[in-house]
Structure 1
Amino acid sequence: MVLSRFWLVIFISSILFVVISLFSGHSYTIDSVLNGKKDDPILISEKYINQIPVFIKDSINKSEEKTFIINRDTLNADTTYVYKNKTVKIFSGVQKSDGLLPTCKSTLLDLILPLMAYLAFFCGLMELLIISGASEKLAKALSPVFVKVFPSIPKNHPSISYMTLNFAANFLGLDSAATPFGLKAMESLQEINPDKDKASDAQIMFMCLHASGLTLIATSIIGYRAAANASNPADVMLPCIITSFIGSIAAFLIVGIRQKINFKSASLVITLMVLIAAIVGLLLYVNHLDLIGKNYFTANLSALILVGIIAFTLIFAFIKEKQFTAANTTVYEAFVAGANNGVKTGVTIFPYVLGMLVAISLFRNSGLFEIISNWIAFGFSNLGVSKDITDALPVALLRPFSSAGSRGFLIDSMNTFGADSMTGRLSSIFQCSAESTFYVIAVYFGSVNIKNTRYALQTMLIVDLICVITAIFVASWFF
């Protein structure tokens, strides 16, 4: 219900703002909102050639392309004059994201089809883990801890192994693997959900822990920083880990208090201590490496573990081939059957993802998001917050809505202020410290047709806010 109302508010307010901007003269055309593409120049006016300044007119006439560009610097938007069909079109600035119709197309071609491919492959592997009995063994090993965190889940339930693989993939920055494992976990949890239209306690806990984004190896962030010529691309790794870890603890505490979980459980305390010790130990190891060593380690660890998971699954399935025969199938046929289920899941979630991304596209291109973010930045600056911090806030504000959009702001901030600036580093921490909340809600709950997400959205947004505040303090401390 909350998600539905929020979606409607975004859509309706964006449409109203677009219409008001058009008829009040603040916008020249609304075509870009519908048909424009990211980074396209924005048409702001159109005049007859005798209505423009003489020096611009002369420059256009001298140009073979009948085009004149001014303000060509990195800090101000270019203004471009293009003479065509007896009029001069004036463009200024670029579009922040694809318009409504291109978003529909890119959602299918650039997001859902690749996601379906990932789902097909990893759901095929999951089918091998299920039939071979590997997932059952993993669930048995982890049940003592998981039944404390998820008391409504029966002991040794298959969802435990799926959630474990999802958390591990997130932990290592393996986004392509995390989503299929997570969707399989939601599907398994839905089987024991007494009210199929309403999110269960276990599903909410899983979603909030997943969305808190605990990441050990922020591979993509390191890559962006390296591309932006950062002196040490991996120097944000420790701040990212601290921020996302605090976010995960906050998510667990907020949901746990609401679900009345026993925090004094010995198994929970021991698990938390082991996790902290593992993180600290790995950080100490990475910290003693030189720059080339850090880059080599962070570039290969995640990929090596993913290859290891694939190899283990196939080898274990080969060893347990008799169990496939008993199930009247073969290893390859089981993989194909699992892959087919992955494709079906991708088709199921497409409408949910499309609806959310189209609303976000309209919200950004309407100009309403920019106004809200500018006012928030203005409010922070009046509170004495450093400009280095307020310049990074657009990344934090857009992150819950769109990973691609916030990534665009991240790259822009590093190009504008420098990858080694406080703004560039803080933007990097914002980007890697949480998930895209609305996208995650749409994908995971949509995959099992959950209509009432209860308090999941509010909790995830609170955790996002905690991550933003933590990131600011951690970045100020480190840099």
Structure 2
Amino acid sequence: MLNWIWMGMIVFGVIVAALLDQLTGSNGIVEGMFDMVKVGVVKIVIPLSAVMMLWLGIMRLAEKSGMIQAVSRFVRPVMKRLFPDVPEDHPAMSAMVMNMAANILGLGNAATPLGLKAMQHLDELNPNKGTATNSMCTFLAINTSSVTLIPATAIGLLAAQGIAEPYAIVGTTIGATLCSTIVAIIAVKAFEKMPVFNRETTTFAIKKERENLAKPRVISNFGKVILWLVGLLFIGIIFLEMYPDKRVELQETLGLREIAVQLDAQGASLDESEMEKDKPIWQRAVSAISVAAIPFVLVFFIIFAALKRIPVYEEFVEGAKEGWSVAVRIMPFIVAMLAALAMLRNSGALLLFQNLLKPILEFVHFPTELVPMALMRPLSGSGSQGVLVEILTNEGLSETIKYTAGTMFGSTETTFYVLAVYFGSVAVRKTRHALAAGLTADLAGVIAAVIICKAMFG
């Protein structure tokens, strides 16, 4: 399916570009394509490889120390229903959970490497290499539904443009993402039963993995005390993040205030204090947890592994070595997808779609000002961010439209990019129903965003 869509995007882009005189020039499809593939390698793949090295090293420690199995036990009832083909104690389970947790907290830098690691584990259970399994499609559908608590990027753009109460989209985004996630799960489970997407599966690989799983080691009582102390330490850090004024008082008590001023932290602390006072306590809590989440995971996993006598440095390096090889595997897939997307965008095809859909959307009372966002969001993250900025800076648009655009941006995902990266990491070419489920989730998120924002903001 993806083969035909990719080919169609290129052919249609060239035809439209020829009709609209967009083949050459600074904004033509040729220059746009070359610029986009350069950006894909230099600004996406290479930085992503560095982040992947970090997180794959941490995941190596988690696997060796038995943390993977411990995490899996907590989420086994829900995950078993979503992924019945994956053994309960398989590393893929906890890798998927950690990826979803990172997405919920808005930790994009951590979510992608963890998601790629989960795909590698899922591919270990795949008896038909190169073809997506039901579990892979379900995992991708949930990812493209973009479950998140704090849409930090959208809120930042709203605040930068002087929109009143930018945090007002937090509730609408949560509502829209819940709708898109529910629809994604329903859609992917329905599509996998359709003959056009269905295929035979075997359990040979699953049984093999069950036999090879290592038993988690037992941690000592002293080690448990250390872990509790680490947990209490980060509870204190979260408290300080929620109440910056208290951190300033602690700095003064410990004689650290002068150093903080030298680090130019005084101005930032005062600004943060004023901003935090205007937020509800639950928003401050979520924001603080998001800030402390990555440091906590890094410290907790390393100490957990060290307490089990794992050589943490050597094992981290071994896991990090996988990062570059994964980046090399996904690079061709990203280049191919970005080239097609650039040709489609620069040709004027999206504007053509917008004009064709305008009468239908007006009939169903869908705001036509949001059509560019709805069309661009599944295709390009940077493109959809540019569309959002254009909407926010348009003084002729109501704040309801601007809140809705921010909600759409925060509650949907760049589906084509996600599929290219995740499936490319395990060389899956037959994506089956993953794209259909992802686009269905995107559509549900867009519709939910419009309905919820109309109800909330009028």
Q: Shorter-chain TM-score category?
A: 0.7 to 0.9
Q: For 1:352, which of 322, 333, 336 is the aligned residue?
A: 333
In the alignment, what sits opposite 2:383? 405
> Which amino acid is 2:303 matched to?
I
Q: Which residue of 2 aligns with 1:134?
A: 67
Task: Give the 5 Å matches for 1:291-310.
Answer: 291-292=278-279, 296-297=284-285, 299-310=287-298
Within the alignment, does 1:430 sit opposite 2:418 as a pair? Answer: no
3-state SS of the aligned residue for 1:124?
Answer: helix
Q: Which runs of 5+ in 2 are unaligned?
A: 194-241, 243-275
Contact kept in structure 1, 2:14 and 2:23, CA below 8 Å: no
**Alpha-carbon contact 2:17-2:29 (below 8 Å) kept:** no
The equivalent residue for 1:203 is 136
Once the two structures are TM-superposed, the CA of residue 413 in structure 1 deviates from its matched residue by: 0.4
Equivalence for 2:208? none
- Alignment check: 8 A CA contact 1:216 1:241 kept: yes
1:145-173: CA deviation from partner (whole Å, max 9, x where unpaired): 32222111112111000000011001111
- Residue 41 of structure 1 is matched in structure 2 by none
Aligned to 1:280: none
CA distance 1:5–1:171, shift in 2 (3 Å): same
Q: Give 1 or 2: higher strand fraction.
A: 1
Residue 418 of structure 1 deviates from its aligned partner by 7.5
Q: CA deviation at 1:469?
A: 1.1
1:421 is aligned to 2:399:
yes
User: How far, CA to CA, are the matches of 2:63 and 2:410 in structure 1?
Assistant: 32
Match for 1:206: what amino acid?
Answer: F
Is it true that 1:32 corresponds to 2:34 in the alignment?
no
Corresponding residue of 1:341: 322
Aligned partner of residue 85 in structure 2, secondary structure:
coil
In structure 1, distance between residues paired with 2:160 and 2:293: 24
Answer whether contact 1:118 1:177 (CA < 8 A) is retained.
Answer: yes
Structure 1, 411-420 or 6-15: larger mean CA deviation: 411-420
In structure 2, the partner of 1:180 is: 113
Q: 1:28 to 1:34 in 2, by over 3 A?
A: closer
Match of 1:276 in 2: none
**1:17 Cα deviation after fit:** 1.9
Root-mean-square deviation over aligned CA pairs: 2.1
Equivalent residue, structure 1, for 2:181: 248
Quote the Cα distance in structure 1 between the aligned partners of 2:378 and 2:17. 23
Please report how far the alpha carbon of residue 256 of structure 1 lies from its aligned counterpart in structure 2 after TM superposition. 2.8
Residue-by-residue CA offset, 1:60-87 (whole Å, 9 max, x unaligned): xxxxxxxxxxxxxxxxxxxxxxxxxxxx
Give the aligned partner of residue 345 of structure 2.
364
Q: 1:419 to 1:18 in 2, by over 3 A?
A: closer
Matching of residues 4-15 of structure 1 within 5 Å: 4-15=3-14
Letter in 2 for 1:397: L
Quick one: distance in 2 between partners of 1:197 and 1:165?
Answer: 25
SS in 2 for 1:204: helix
Pairing 1:21-420 to 2, within 5 Å after superposition: 21-22=20-21, 29-34=24-29, 36=31, 99-258=32-191, 291-292=278-279, 296-297=284-285, 299-321=287-309, 324=310, 330-381=311-362, 383=363, 385=365, 389-417=367-395
Indicate which of 456, 462, 468 corresponds to 2:446: 468
Tell me the TM-score normalized by structure 2.
0.78
Question: Partner amino acid for 2:365?
Answer: V
TM-score (norm 1): 0.74
- When Rg is computed on C-alpha atoms for both structures, the one with the higher figure is 1
- Which whole-Å CA distance do the structure 1 matches of 2:284 and 2:440 have between them? 35
With over 3 angstroms needed to count, the CA separation of the structure-2 counterparts of 1:297 and 1:229, relative to structure 1, is farther
Report what 1:72 is aligned to: none
Letter in 1 for 2:13: S
Change (3 A) 1:420 1:134: farther
Greater shift in the superposed pair: 144-153 or 456-465: 144-153
Counterpart-to-counterpart distance in 2, 1:336 and 1:218: 33
Structure 1 unaligned blocks of 5 or more: 37-98, 261-284, 325-329
Q: Partners in 1 of 2:420 and 2:192 — Cα distance? A: 23
Flag the structure with higher helix content.
2
The residue number in structure 1 matching 2:238 is none
Instruction: Report if aligned partners of 2:123, 2:129 keep a CA contact under 8 Å in 1.
Output: yes
State the alpha-carbon separation in 2 of the partners of residues 187 and 419 from structure 1.
45
Post-superposition offset of 1:255: 2.2
Partners of 2:155 and 2:337 in 1: CA distance: 28
Contact 1:212/1:251 (CA < 8 Å) preserved in 2?
yes
Number of aligned residue pairs: 375
1:417–1:423 Cα contact (<8 Å) kept: no
Shift of 1:21: 2.9
Contact 1:392 1:424 in 2 (8 A): no
Distance 2:446 2:101 in 1: 23
Q: 1:172 to 1:135 in 2, by over 3 A?
A: same
